[in-house]
Each structure stands twice: as C-alpha cells, then as structure tokens.
Structure 1
Amino acid sequence: MSENNPNILALDFDGVICDGLIEYFETAWRTYCQVWSPTNLTPPEDLAARFYHLRPVIEVGWEMPVLLRALLVGIPEEKIWQDWVAIAQQILVGEGLKATDMGAKLDSIRDEWIASNLAEWLSLHRFYPGVVERLQQIIASPVQLYIITTKEGRFVRQLLQEQNIAMSEGSIFGKEYRRPKSQLLIELIEASAESPAIWFVEDRLKTLQGVKNQPELNEVRLYLADWGYNTQAQHESIRYDKRIQLLSLSQFAEDFSVWP
C-alpha cells in the first residue's frame, strides 16, 4: 500500500457507520420503564430531543437509561455536559443499581425486541449516506476492514447483513471482547506480519485521545468523524492537533488519497 492508503481501516460503528439514535431512545425508554416503573409509560414529549442532544456524553449502552433518569429528575443539561461520568455514578450508587445489571437488562430488552419484531427494530436505524457503498468498495479492495465498537457484535452483524454487507469472521470487535479500543488496535498490529498502516475512524474524541496517548499506537492515523455523536466545540478543539484529523462524511466516501 502507498502512504495514501491504509493496510487496515478500523471503524467505530455507532456514529460512524450507523445512526441508531431513534432505536437508542426507544430501547433506553423501555429499560427505564422496567427499572423505575413510571406511572406514565409514554415518555414526556421533549425527552427524545433532549436525549438526542446529549448523546455525545454516552460511552456505553447502560448509560442510556441512566441519562433519561438524570433528565427526568431535573439535572440540568449544562451540568450533564460538564460532569456526566460522576453524575451517572451518583445515580447508580444513590439508587442501588449496578452498571452490569443495567447493561444486561438493556441488551435483554433489545434481544427480545429483535426476536419478536426484527423488521421494526431494523427500521429504526439509519446508515449514513454513502457509507454502505463505501464499505462495499473497501471490502472488495486489498484493505482489511475491521469494526471496533462498544455495541454487541451480534447486533452489528445483524444490521450489516440487512444492508448486504458481509464482514469476514473475526473482523467485528464488539462489547463482548471486553477490552479498550486502544488495546484492540495494538492486537491488530501484533497480529500483522509487517508493520501495517492503520487508520482509525471514531466519533468519540475521548477514545481517540486515549489511542493518541498509547506509545505503541504512534503510527496509527486518527480521524474524528464530524457527522457522528460529537460537538462543534470538539471539532474546534482539535483544529491544531497534529494527530487527530477531522473527517467529513463526504471525505469518507471518497478515495483514501483525498482524506486529510
């Protein structure tokens, strides 16, 4: 491969390949209802819009119903932006809950939904414009494609299959791998016969900063997907960053030679 092309392209899923905001909210609300048993099972009219707006603070699925709890008990959005990790932990501890239990409940609700009405569940996901076609081009090329995500791998595979995207065995690293994305990237390097040119596209700036701080990953080219679950302030914060490049959806759909 030339320096204008990667040997390995690693992509996040949610916020890079697929927009699942509508499904996230619905699954989070169903989970919320099971955990907190509200008297009204219909969510407040503005709750979904507020949840969508705050989606960039969420890192792992169990946090989604906890975010709804934070909003419904009146924690200001500004405070959530500033200190979400501490707020989420305070809610768990204060209400005697565990993140693992919350995550298992959310996954179980999603599994039941898929089993009972797969078409409905699939219909609530939107692949970003041009992404499906670009993935198919990459799969047909010499570039090795991997997906590294905090979503359960089986859900990712289900959504890709619906778009006729066939990923090879072992190319999807989901939540079940229980390792940070930086560690999985290190393992990809270690598994390669030569020093591969790895490019990593992610919509969570904190994740990219974690990769940037790993000396073993100094040669990995890092991209923040500006169409994902991040903010304009985060885009501005990396304007002069020498490692993390801002990538637009139109650039993603183009040949690697035109990427920043």
Structure 2
Amino acid sequence: MAAVGLLGVRPAPATGRLERQARASPDAVSWGWRARARPLRSVPPPGRAGRGGARAARPLRAAMGGGDLYALDFDGVFCDSCGESSLSAVKAAKVRWPWAFEQVDAAMEEWIVEQMHTLRPVIETGYENLLLVRLLVEIQIPSARKSSVADGLSIQEILDNWSKLLPTLMDEWQEDRESLVDLFGRVRDDWLENDLSGWIGANRFYPGTADALKLSSSELYIVTTKQSRFTGALLKELAGVDFPSERIYGLGTGPKVKVLQQLQEMPQHQGLTLHFVEDRLATLKNVIKEPALDKWNLYLVKWGYNTQEEREEAGAISRIQLIDLPDFSKQLK
C-alpha cells in the first residue's frame, strides 16, 4: 500500500537523529507521498490562521435547511501517516529505552520500520507505536528482553493478539500511558519544529480526499485519536486546508462514541443526516453497541488501516457500509 520503499533508517552523523532514505515507486507522485513543492512555513498556534498558501475551508451549511454532518477519522481516511509515526516511534523509543537499542543497527531499524507498516492496523492511539517498536527489538535481540511474550512471537501473532499483548507489556515494562503519549508528542513536536518539510514529507493524503474537504458543503468534523495540533498542521501544510481548530476532536477530547453523542445533541445539528467514516472496525462496533447512536450511518473505508478479514467481517454487518475511495470523495463533495 505504501508508495515509498524504505531503504534504511540511520542516525544522522551530527545530531544522532534518524533520517530516512526513500526510493519513490512509480505511484509515489500520483499518490502524493511527498510534500507539495511549495514553501513551507512554521505552523501557527491552534485557532490562528497562517499567512497565505493554505485555502480556507468553505463556510459550513446551517442545519436549518437539513443536510449532512460527517464525523471523519483522520489517519487511515484522509492521511497515511504510517511513515511518520513509525519513524517518530523509533526516535521516541530510543529516548525512552536507550539501553534496548545498543545492539540495533541500521539494517535492524529498517526491518523495524517495515514491520510497523504491517502492524499499523492494530494501533488505536499513537503511543502504541513505541510499544510495538520495543517489542520488535525484543523479538530480534534476546538480551534486550524484559517481557514474557517476545520469545518466538511472530508478526501475525501480534496482529491477532495485540489487544491482549498491550496491557501485558505495559505491566511488565512498568510503563504508563500518559508518559508515553507525552514523549511521542514531544518527539513529533521537535521534528516538526526543526525539520518541517521532512515531517510533512513523511505523510501523504489519499488521492482526492483533500479536494473533497475543500469542496464539501456539508457540516464536517474530524474525530481522531491523533493529537489535534498535528492533525491541523497536516491539513494546512499538506492538504492546503484551513480547517477550523474547534472542529477537530483529537486525542484528549474523549472516546469517539462520546464525541459522536456530543455532536448529535448540538442544537445546530438537529435535522441533519449523520455519517461517521472510520478505518477501524473495532471503533464502528463500539458505536453499534450504543443505542443512543443508532441515527449514525456507519462507513468502513476500504483503503485505510484495516485488513481483508476485517473488511469481510464488516460486509456481514448490516449497519456498516463499505466505501471505496472514489465514492467517498464524491459523497463528501
């Protein structure tokens, strides 16, 4: 799925930071993996517009005349951030557990990043990337093992059992969620501040999704487990969209089921047809469990971070509609 083949991840000679060497595939240009060839600028604080460049989102239609409201996941629906999140996770893991990386060379880092692309469907929140990176190190280096699960563990077993492995690793490594979330955010902030073009270029928007955002006349909200400041930066710098910061419900705003309930109860949204677009089947199942959210039309995208097995399972659930990329872009407009 990725349009860039990773050739290696290595420490920069002067700074020790990770750099990525990439070889563009024939699809890389059409899939927009690289940042646009236009000057990049520093990202303004939330709620403030930058100067020029990015196009403002179209005025959103008032609810009094009816219409549609879309609650939209970000990673896996609009943005393929797997390259950036994997590289950021390696950087952060080196800060958190430097001793575990003493025997990790460039070739092993390359292998880790490649496996992270395969494992991306299991990740719900960004900090989990760090845990996966360390687990991959333990799988490869017996002397670095501090968990009871790494010995003989396969990539497929991680995919099948991540929900059980996650709490086990957190307990055995004596980690806490908030510290990992904070570290992952700080590492990303540092990369964004010191190498904006490199950070932006490690992400890509799926074809047609940025234009669909710009042209939509529906009520739009981003509902994501990504931290809001990174979502806003990518919308502005990579998609060219000045998306209102108050319409981005990011990490820390509560579970998605609660956000959907808040949105449907807002007076200005009464009478609108409600749509929720996700790439994680587990999230849609959580919505189905809530009777109060029965009014939402649910969609699982076919191009995001999900597996063929999950798409087949979703196809058997009457409440969920599978949607492909061209139809999504057309419907959003």
Same fold (TM over 0.5): yes
Larger displacement relative to structure 2 (16-25 or 188-197): 188-197
1:101 matched to 2:179: yes
Q: Which of 146, 154, 160 does residue 82 from structure 1 map onto?
A: 160
Name the SS for the 2:130 alignment partner. helix
Structure 1 residue 6: Cα displacement: 5.1
TM-aligned CA distance change 1:59 to 1:6, over 3 Å: farther
* CA distance in structure 2 between the aligned counterparts of 1:119 and 1:90, rounded to whole angstroms: 37
- Pair 1:221 & 2:285 matched: no
> Is contact 2:126-2:226 (8 Å) kept?
yes
1:167 & 1:247 partners in 2: Cα distance? 24
One-letter identity of the residue aligned with 2:321: Q
CA distance in 1, matches of 2:187, 2:173: 21
Residue from 199, 205, 214 that aligns with 1:136: 214
Distance 2:329 2:187 in 1: 34
Aligned partners of 2:67 and 2:135: how far apart in 1? 42
Are the equivalent residues in 1 in contact too, given 2:67–2:273 (CA < 8 A)?
A: yes
Aligned residues: 250
Q: Which of residues 168, 189, 206 in structure 1 aligns to 2:264?
A: 189
1:154 partnered with 2:232: no
Matched residue, 2:46: none
Q: 1:83 to 1:6 in 2, by over 3 A?
A: farther
Q: Which has the larger radius of gyration?
A: 2
Q: What is residue 25 of structure 1 aligned with on the other side?
A: 86
**Which residue of the partner structure matches residue 239 of structure 1?**
315
Partner of 1:127: 205
Unaligned 5+ segments in structure 1 are none
Report the identity percentage.
33
Cα distance in 1 for partners of 2:332, 2:77 equals 16
8 Å CA contact 1:6–1:199 kept in 2: the answer is no
Q: CA deviation at 1:22?
A: 0.7
Asked if 1:54 is matched to 2:115, the reply is no
**1:252: Cα distance to partner?**
0.9
CA RMSD of aligned residues (A): 1.7
For the Cα contact (< 8 Å) 1:145–1:171, is it kept in 2? yes
Aligned partners of 1:33 and 1:41 also within 8 Å = no
What is the TM-score normalised by the length of structure 1? 0.91
Unaligned segments of structure 2, at least 5 residues: 1-60, 140-152
Corresponding residue for residue 12 of structure 1: 73
